[in-house]
Structure 1
Amino acid sequence: MNVNGISNQTSTYAAYKSTEQKAAATETEGKQTEVSAVYEPSAETEKTDTVTAKQKNEAIISRLKADAEARTQQLQQLVQQMISKQGNAYGQANDMWKFLASGNFTVDARTKAQAQADIAEDGYWGVKQTSERIFDFAKALSGGDMDKMKEMQAAFEKGFKQATKTWGKELPQISQDTRSAVNKLFEDFYAGDQKDTE
């Protein structure tokens, strides 16, 4: 047996094996580069933020409207109960407000307790919650724009004067306090906006 023949076959086999491994490595690299992802930046980020803010304001407005409608219905039911128990007709809204403003009525204990809870400091119709709802509604409608907020405050004052006229005399103290609280929220907003621009 010739030793040179064995050595020669070993080196030929090693060279073949080395070439085969290199070819397999190159093929694997090729497959890996085909699989890689390409980053494509999106131009819709800014648009999404604007849409989200708009949807948020619309959601607040819808929630406030639904809440106000439900509470108004509750108030009307309380008033209707008071009036019907005394045998007075529940007619047009102006008559109802004049009737209430006159103070010429009595209320059963359950209705009185509910009304007192509603207008308590932490009640739904209390100064704090009512003024915050009015301000939040104005801010949502205006989008927080300073000029629009001033228009909203003027509209609030106009509505307050109309309510006073409908009532037939000066509104109760709770209404006066609510008016002051709403105007303070507007003034705080303006002052905060001034600080932000400085």
Structure 2
Amino acid sequence: MSVNGVTGASNAYSTYATNTKGTETKTDSKAETSKETTSAESTGVVYEPSKETTSTKKYKPDTNMIAKMKADAEARTSQLKSLVEKMLTKQGETYGKANDIWSLLSSGKFTVDAATKAQAQADIAEDGYWGVSQTSQRILDFATALTGGDPDKIEEMRAAFQKGFKQATKTWGGSLPDISQKTYDAVMKGFDKMAEDAGLKTAETSKTEE
């Protein structure tokens, strides 16, 4: 499950990587064209260089950061699921697949021991790992790592996050907890800020200008 949407965002990586390879192929083609031009010059053909200069910045995914963040997210999620499984097992609850765990949690038909409650409260506190601030920032950092900071990919990452959030809501079996919605809002504001800093217009800013 991906309540925080990181998994949903990572699904866009394969698509982005494919697009990147396509760009590299085009670059190689330009290099070949340049070689042909040089050859033409050696045979006496006059080459008129274009007055246009290419200053397009290249963006590359931060693969090291991506791997590190994915590993951390998987470890933390596994830790959380293990805690929940132990708690439910003690209560005699059974489940046949991963989604059953979240269905049981969303139903509210369980009790929490003092130790589990204390750990959960610490994790979802404002400064906790699963708190709104840290979770939303991780998602935004992950999106930046995926795109290499390419401003043209901001909306693509926003869409990937929204897709992941919808999937998480479906898996949960209803409306997600309030903290998840607050995290969603924080991430959306973060994407808005990224777009604003890049001088891009979002649907929200367009409405404001109207």
State the TM-score, normalized to the length of structure 2.
0.65
- 1:146 Cα deviation from its structure 2 partner: 2.1
Displacement of 1:105 in angstroms is 0.2
Question: Pick from 159, 164, 177: which aligns with 2:164?
Answer: 159
Larger % of helix: which? 1
For residue 188 of structure 1, report the CA deviation from its aligned partner.
Answer: 0.4
Counterpart Cα distance in 2 of 1:124 and 1:70: 12
- The structure having more radius of gyration, on CA atoms, is 1
CA drift at 1:81? 1.4
CA contact (8 A) 1:83 1:90 kept: no
User: 1:47-126 alignment to 2 at 5 Å?
Assistant: 57-126=62-131
Deviation at 1:97, TM superposition (A): 1.2
Q: Which runs of 4+ in 1 moved over 2 A?
A: none
Task: Give the Cα separation in 2 of the matches to 1:148 and 1:54.
Answer: 12
Q: Identify if the C-alpha distance between structure 1 residues 134 and 118 changes in structure 2 by more than 3 Å, giving closer, same or farther.
A: same
Cα distance, 1:54 vs structure 2: 5.1
Identity fraction in percent: 63
Q: Deviations over 1:77-98 (max 9, x none)?
A: 1111111110111321221111
Contact 2:136 2:184 in 1 (8 A): yes
C-alpha RMSD of the superposition: 1.6
**Equivalent position of 1:3 in the other structure:** none
SS in 2 for 1:194: coil
Instruction: Give the Cα separation in 1 of the matches to 2:129 and 2:185.
Output: 17
| Equivalenced residues, count | 143
Distance in 1 of aligned mates of 2:177 and 2:107: 12
In 2, the alpha carbon distance for the partners of 1:54 and 1:179 equals: 26
Contact 2:132 2:182 in 1 (8 A): yes
Give me the whole-angstrom Cα distance separating, in 1, the residues matched to 2:152 and 2:60. Answer: 18
Q: 1:1-198 maps to which residues of 2 (within 5 A)?
A: 57-194=62-199
Query: 1:175 is aligned with what amino acid?
Result: S
Contact between 2:140 and 2:187, CA under 8 Å: does it hold in 1? Answer: yes
Unaligned ranges ≥5, structure 1: 1-49
